[in-house]
Structure 1
Amino acid sequence: MPRLPAPEIARLKPLVLARVAEGEAVTGVMRALGLGATAAQSWAKRDAGFRAALTQAVATGRARWMRGPDPMRMAAFLARVKAGEKVADLWGKPGMPGRTTYFHWRATDAMFAHEMGLIRAGQRAALAAGGRAAYRPYDPELADAIYARLWIRGSMAKALAGDARMPCASIVARWRREQPEFDKGIREAMACWRRTHAQARPPWRETLYSKAMRDRVIEHVAWGGSLASAAREAEMPALSTLYRWMRQRPDFARAVWTAYDDRDLADGFELIGPETGGGPRGQSRRRKALRRIGGLKRRPGLPRRGAPEGPRFIIVSPPGET
């Protein structure tokens, strides 16, 4: 915060002393003036006269606060609250109590606590009356309009949009709870819309599958890819579509499994080829290679737990081995 000029500080010091002498806290006064909470301490360090005056103002305010509330100040506060001002907005203003003083008055003065209770009760009654005035009972005409719009638009959000007469979604939900027949009609309208549009929807999911698309997926897998990496390629089906084909199309599933097996066998022959050498060291390398092949990923589309029926592939020994 930038440092205030000396004339401004000289103007604010009497205001601070007056409010502190009324019983307000020093930090609360400084924050109410838009200054830092420790600004008064900085002024007191640089000005001995202000330090003595501030000490005296704190003692005066504390003594006044301990003697009890000021009737004139309390009456002014209650009048402004009855006029509609918020209690929190009055804290710390000139002639008004601070937050600590306000709660002290409520705890120690029965008359003040009673008056505040009456004010709070009136505010709650006005709020409740406003809520009852805004209550919208079930309207059969609006219910028919909602039915008609649901038949056309299909969703509640779209049915309620674009018309100021329509209730909000929470009111419609309350109507559905209160009127079982209305709720039943809503369900029937939305179900009929879904059936109608489901029949008119083009069968794009079925026409997407083709021999050319199958060959592209098989080629991708044979060259070291997977169904997940194939789904990330441009103009390829989504991963959920590929797995659905694995479940629903046996020819596609067999082709994918064959591509996986051929690729894994080719990798295995590279690992257990003649370059591994003979002797115990070469045999150990071959055994590790075979274990690696056996630990490769299961066929896509099969359960994670449990081995597939039958061998996944057949390992053929290289020439010269028995």
Structure 2
Amino acid sequence: MHSTVAARRSRQKAELLARLATGPCLADVCRAPDMPDVKSVSNWARADPAFAEQLAAARLRGRNLRASHYDEALAAAFLARLQAGEPVGSILRDPAMPGRRVYNYWCATQAAFGEEVWRVTRVYRGVRSQIRWDAHRALRHRAWDQTTADAIYLRVLRGETIPAVLADLKLAPAAFARWRREQPELDLIMRKAVQLGPRARGPARAALRCTPELTRRIEHRIIMGASLHSLSREPDMPSSNSLYRWVRERPDFAAAVASACRYRDEQYQDQLVDLTRTAGLTTRAHAIAKRLGQLNPYPGERRGRRQATTPTP
């Protein structure tokens, strides 16, 4: 059995190196059903220095081949999708299209291709900017709606905050402020709702105790990406003062929160490492790195004791 597995792995390694040398990137090759995933290839490279050298050489040959080869048919398909209005980033995410490095190389070395890309992107940049501005104006100038105003009043009266309700209803704060200026009755009842809302929310929050069930819920939410500050904004969660007081006064709760925070950050770091190894420092990688910085320090720690770093690919 062991010899069969070793022979199969040797065949996969040879096939992987051969495919990489022809031009595709590692992520594209690993998508094939008969190939291992990227993580398995990384494990093989760490366990076998000779294979690691062969893998690096094959990837370099493939990268040079991709950068030096200009495919007119592929470039024409790229330009057709670009002229149809599809953003450059969306096209480059298609495995059938060239990658970011090849695209940059073509723009720098192929004058006709680069000029057409520049012309089309300039046109559509203005169009998309106008569309975004029109949508923003439509939100700011949304007409008065009695039904929506009543829904906002009732939800605030039950304990929800105005920003949360407006975000849920996709109503711009500027539009709601204009409604309140134009409708004095709405402004009056909203003032009363803001005063009475915390009273409706307060007893429910005050009744929450640091129970094992609630602790497990908080742990799960933190692992999924939340923070204590974001949890405190939810109506069915304790206030931020209660959560941070429990961290200070309850060692078991503080240990559970710290463990969940570490697990959450490890997941973010794994995603960041995978992204930087396969696609480089993309916008998604920068967003994850920014989120890691925002989550530093953990509740109860002093700022500066841990620094979120961006792994190198």
TM-score band by shorter chain is 0.3 to 0.5
Larger radius of gyration: 1
Greater per-residue helix proportion:
2
